[in-house]
Structure 1
Amino acid sequence: MNRAAPPTSPAYSLYPELDAAALGSFAAALESGDPSGLPPARAAEVEAVRAAAVFSRGKVTGAGGVLLDAALWRHTGSRPRPVVVMPAPWTNLGWVAYAVRASAFAARGYDVLAYTPRGFGASAGQADMAGPLDVADGSRALDHLLERTAGPVTKAGFLGASYGSGIGLLVAAHDTRVDAVVAFSTWGDLGEALVENSTRHVAAVQALLTAAARARLSPTTERALEDVLAHRDTEGVLRWAAERSPFSHVKELNRRRVPVFFSHAWHETLFPANQTLKLFDELSGPKRIVLSAGDHAGPGTGGLLGLPDRVWTDAHRWFDHHLLGLENAEDAGQVAAEVMWSGTVEHRPTWDALTREVLRLHLTGGRELAELPEAGWSARVLCGVDTPAAVAHEVVRSGYAEMAGRPRLYPAGDIDREVAAVWACAPAGETLRLRGVPRLRVTYRAANPGSSFVAHLLDLAPDGSARLITHAPYSDLGSAPDSLISADIDLQATAYDVPRGHRVLLVVAGRDAFYADANLPRATLALTSPEATPSYLELPLG
């Protein structure tokens, strides 16, 4: 089935800050050689890259003869040089999204090919969400580039943002010619990004479908995404997703120790950080991850437009080191973690080094988070009712305010204690430096088969306002009615400083519109803490 966006409505984009008009003007100036209509800095970039390399537009013949819209930056002369292939994001803007950044690579001596994946923009075929044909297209794009490089090719890299990053990682797993990867806002385990703790990410999936309204999706891809929305054939969706997950192919990446650089956002709503960190943890070759405030594709969007950008600076240094062979950097470690909304970036040698100790706080009947366990209490949650606690007010777009240092404020006092269970710790005597993955264990009883909840961890200020630290959903779809259910869940990773005098607030609600709701309307969940398996929250401290 092909969908079409309403002709009177602007196309929905997963990259709302990406200035398509400015990028299109830059690409047109590259082709015409006339940058007079561009701002001075962009005009200078066009002149510099055209002095160093030949720019051309054309088509790459992908798998099955499908023609892919592409652009090529090629140097003349027989000097050996590395090459970079850049599959475009999930947008009909296609390769033009990379016009400025690909030019920057070309000016540094790389031959570059940027292309629009099948099914999007001016490329033919049907998009298959990084399926086998998309992976084969990536290898064909590399063939195309190698055939047109004048001198010997030393090494090859793949760089992608969002959709293009997933394609790049999968091509690297299957094509031994790929020597390094840069992946912005990528997925590691697509199945976990779609269905987390048995809970369907319905808002994220709807955003993917809406953003592809003018694209041509393959029937299998469209069916899989719509099956998530309709709660059909979850096992089939997960099998479909596994084939498209770099995590499923990590042995191939590790066999050649492919160097991989990641840029990701803490509050990512499309591909939450934990499933990408799972891939990062399993990689045995050179690796680095930069985690920043914001949401999908936010960190790095300014760099796509040519603005100064620390994650793009890191990405350039990564390829300069692993493809050009430059000894260009101090050993800053595998992890760079921006503390949310402070602008401070902390470097650690490994992901595990982010967490130094774990503070366990128990859920009590007095709705306190306390050091000692307390058994026998019950906290009732009425299902089917929204609360002020929410993952995000809008997929992707919420993160841009966070990047500007303006995170959403939640009125904690407006959270109805009948529809959510709320616990708070004592005011912090000193700053609580949360670093890593918080964990929650809670036992509850559901009167009906099928139940779900979302746990939100908030920073509660003395004035009653709260900010979201992290969260996680949980669903149980198979337990018998009225049975005790034990939920052990990892909340999404975080780097967050809870100031002195603030409280950590745990809110467990039966509904968050971001996720599918497995509860019956007006059903209740009864949370408790058995003596043998007490309910608690674990906070990772740095």
Structure 2
Amino acid sequence: MRARLCAVLFGLSLLGAPAPVSAAATPSPIGLTCASVADPFNHWFCTGHVPSFDGVPLDVDLTLPAGGVVPRPLVVMLHGYSNDKTEWESNAITNVKADKDHYNNLAFASRGYAVLNYTARGFKGSCGPGTLAAGCARGWTHLADRRFEVRDSQYLVGLLVDAGVADPAHIGATGGSYGGGQSMLLALEGNRVTAVPDPNNPSTYGNAQLVAWTSPNGVGLRLAAAVPKYPWSDLVHSLVPNGRASDGVILADRNRLHPLGIEKESLVSYLYAAGNAPTGYYAPPGMDPTADLTSWYARLQAGEPYGGDPAVKAAIDQLRIWRSPFYQDRLIATATTRVPVLDLQGWTDELFPEVEGVAMVDKLRAAGWPAGISLADVGHPIAQNKVADWSDLNERANAFLDHYLLGQGGVTLDLRARVSTCDATVGKDYTSGNWPDIAPRRFTFSSTGPGATASVVANTDGAATDPIAVAAGNGGNGSCITLSSLRTTGTAVWDFPVTTTFTLLGEPALHLDATVAGVDAEVNSRLWDLGPDGMATLVTRGAYRFSGIPGGATLETALQGNGWVFLAGHTIRLQVIQVDTPYLRPDTLGSTIAYSRVTLTLPAT
């Protein structure tokens, strides 16, 4: 990671909309410096720093098609956590990174779009670490907050509309991970902005109000379409799952926030470090209670018990109210413009798995919003992100945006899922108009064989199944996890023979009858496909927190899910463990669990 100074280049006045310029003239919208690029498209590339609504300078790039400055459909491309504006930029329509191939600034500009890429506040060129220049004193990251990062995008779009660059009726947003979550929040706000009374006074942030989204010159604005790529919808449960989230197919979605779940420690720690100095700028502890990432992380790492701690509740409320699309029921219900959404989600994404997309899209569709989803083996590790998978996903995303922003072609907002494979083949595609119908069959496996686990015994396969370790061993890429043998230390194990070939498509449901010695315990699970040769491939996994009175308990949880073909003659192996380090943070409170019955139900085609 490289440190970048936060420079402030105050440009020309942003108040007036300039007259269109000729094709030969050099544009300079919103004070950016532009140059013509000698390529087959002769596009303009503009760059510079632009003060946001609160004066924080943002590092901005703008790509324009050849020709004069005229109002064009605009795509806002938002980067991932701790990255910068260059993530979705390319010097060609093609790109060696599969999710950017035919899906980057030049690819969109070549079709007539204006493209906005900028670095989110608190990272690298937008008030990253170093000697903070004027305007950066409060330029720390707010972690995709509706009141700040989302408003930054809205403000920059307004400037481009006033400058005659963007068509106010044809604005789209897309991005991956951190940018994907913001894309979804932008869609939910639609034609509204969340404004705080005083950006310099954190005590006023809780009084933020929804107001009409207008440009600085008063032009009414709205988002026309959004394509979130591998986003979260519930930032609490995705980082600290308690095992009660569900896509609703087999198990009902329950309270995801209480008890607070189990930290995905390797992923959360990686992200915390990646976004901190020397790459980013976090608020000094105690300076801003609404974005106190350092204090939040320290409290999470301090461990259980979390219940009853007002600091924990305050952090949960910040993530739920201002950063999690899934909890924006008011935005959804009161929307006067329902923005079309196409969610691209990953089966094998250990950070933001299937439920983050499916549950959100189901909620939108139930409220009458035009929304669709495509699932494949993509996203964060351990996803493989194959070229063939992204080629099809990007083709669908491009057609979706071209329809809503350019008025070209037609789209079908259905629900699609592609089966994951570990070899070079492309898995089968399934399509439905209703998510439960995509996997109408059920395969149920039960056992009364006993099992026992303890919070002091770790499973020694933990490192081999950790997404950060897998990525580190594969040049930053994901990979199928296939082991020649599975160690049973610290695990309760049940084997179920597969007598008929079937395809898992969705979240397995796990039911356990147990006796718990302890008031708090982790019930973590891994589901394997064990071949006749003894090779075991990880299909999916789960994490569940028990919190309650010691004694007999019935535990139900949905695993993360996948699209996977189980062949006749193979064996399904279920492991239940309490210590799954380094992926999951071990419980500070001790416990043991004895299992007397297990039932595993798989949605299938």
Aligned to 1:372: none
Whole-angstrom CA distance in 2 between matches of 1:274 and 1:130: 20
Q: Which of 116, 123, 126 is the equivalent residue of 1:123?
A: 126
Aligned to 2:429: 346
| CA drift at 1:392 | 3.0
Whole-angstrom CA distance in 2 between matches of 1:119 and 1:405: 28
- 2:467–2:478 Cα contact (<8 Å) kept: no
Q: Which of 234, 243, 246 is the equivalent residue of 2:325?
A: 246
Aligned to 1:539: 602
| CA drift at 1:147 | 2.2
Residue 387 of structure 1 pairs with residue 454 of structure 2: no
| CA drift at 1:234 | 3.3
Q: Which of 54, 59, 72 is the equivalent residue of 1:81?
A: 72
Whole-angstrom CA distance in 2 between matches of 1:351 and 1:406: 27
Residue 64 of structure 1 pairs with residue 64 of structure 2: no
Whole-angstrom CA distance in 1 between matches of 2:472 and 2:437: 26
Whole-angstrom CA distance in 1 between matches of 2:604 and 2:386: 31
Residue 201 of structure 1 pairs with residue 264 of structure 2: yes
Q: Determine helix, strand or coil for the equivalent of 2:465.
A: coil
Residue 47 of structure 1 pairs with residue 39 of structure 2: yes
| CA drift at 1:263 | 1.7
Whole-angstrom CA distance in 1 between matches of 2:361 and 2:229: 13
TM-score, normalising length: structure 2: 0.72
Q: Which of 383, 394, 397 is the equivalent residue of 1:312?
A: 394
- 2:190–2:339 Cα contact (<8 Å) kept: no
Residue type at the aligned position of 1:274? V
Whole-angstrom CA distance in 1 between matches of 2:479 and 2:506: 22
Q: Determine helix, strand or coil for the equivalent of 1:191.
A: helix
Whole-angstrom CA distance in 2 between matches of 1:425 and 1:83: 53
Whole-angstrom CA distance in 2 between matches of 1:335 and 1:250: 25
| CA drift at 1:274 | 1.5
Residue 273 of structure 1 pairs with residue 354 of structure 2: yes
- Cα distance change, pair 301–382 in 1 and its aligned pair in 2 (3 A): closer
| CA drift at 1:61 | 2.1
Aligned to 1:19: none
Q: Determine helix, strand or coil for the equivalent of 2:350.
A: coil
What do the CA deviations read for 1:227-261 (whole angstroms, capped 9, x no partner)? 32223543233212102001122552463221112
- 2:343–2:372 Cα contact (<8 Å) kept: yes
Residue 146 of structure 1 pairs with residue 161 of structure 2: yes
Whole-angstrom CA distance in 1 between matches of 2:378 and 2:472: 4
- 1:296–1:396 Cα contact (<8 Å) kept: no
Q: Determine helix, strand or coil for the equivalent of 1:489.
A: strand
| CA drift at 1:517 | 2.0
Q: Determine helix, strand or coil for the equivalent of 1:193.
A: helix
Aligned to 1:257: 338
Identity of aligned residues (%): 25
Residue 182 of structure 1 pairs with residue 227 of structure 2: yes
- 1:60–1:68 Cα contact (<8 Å) kept: yes
**Higher fraction of helix:** 1
Aligned to 1:370: none
- 2:172–2:401 Cα contact (<8 Å) kept: yes
Aligned to 2:297: 225
Q: Which of 427, 446, 470 is the equivalent residue of 1:362?
A: 446
What do the CA deviations read for 1:127-163 (whole angstroms, capped 9, x no partner)? 1111121121121121122123347544111111111
Whole-angstrom CA distance in 2 between matches of 1:339 and 1:301: 10
- Cα distance change, pair 328–398 in 1 and its aligned pair in 2 (3 A): same
Q: Which of 303, 309, 312 is the equivalent residue of 1:234?
A: 312
Residue type at the aligned position of 1:281? D
| CA drift at 1:405 | 9.7
- 1:60–1:140 Cα contact (<8 Å) kept: no
| CA drift at 1:396 | 8.1
Task: Trace 1:391-430 onto structure 2 (pairs within 5 A).
Answer: 392-395=465-468, 397-398=470-471, 407-416=480-489, 419-426=490-497, 428-430=498-500
Residue 435 of structure 1 pairs with residue 502 of structure 2: no
What do the CA deviations read for 1:346-395 (whole angstroms, capped 9, x no partner)? 13123222211212221222xxxxxxxxxxxx422233333255483332
Residue 485 of structure 1 pairs with residue 553 of structure 2: yes
Whole-angstrom CA distance in 1 between matches of 2:44 and 2:319: 39
Whole-angstrom CA distance in 2 between matches of 1:403 and 1:58: 30
What do the CA deviations read for 1:312-352 (whole angstroms, capped 9, x no partner)? 222211100111111245x4832232333342241312322
Residue type at the aligned position of 1:355? A
Whole-angstrom CA distance in 2 between matches of 1:225 and 1:182: 30
| CA drift at 1:302 | 8.2
Runs of 5+ in structure 2 lacking a partner?
Answer: 4-32, 91-103, 128-138, 192-221, 243-260, 286-291
Residue type at the aligned position of 2:345? H
Q: Which of 587, 591, 603 is the equivalent residue of 1:518?
A: 587
Runs of 5+ in structure 1 lacking a partner?
Answer: 8-29, 35-45, 366-377, 530-534
Residue 465 of structure 1 pairs with residue 535 of structure 2: yes
Whole-angstrom CA distance in 2 between matches of 1:182 and 1:413: 39
Residue type at the aligned position of 1:289? I
- Cα distance change, pair 210–195 in 1 and its aligned pair in 2 (3 A): same
- Cα distance change, pair 199–485 in 1 and its aligned pair in 2 (3 A): farther
Whole-angstrom CA distance in 2 between matches of 1:226 and 1:86: 32
Q: What RMSD over aligned residues (CA atoms) do the two structures have, in Å? A: 3.0
Whole-angstrom CA distance in 1 between matches of 2:116 and 2:181: 17
- 2:35–2:44 Cα contact (<8 Å) kept: no
Residue 166 of structure 1 pairs with residue 181 of structure 2: yes
**Alignment length (residue pairs):** 475
Whole-angstrom CA distance in 2 between matches of 1:361 and 1:85: 47
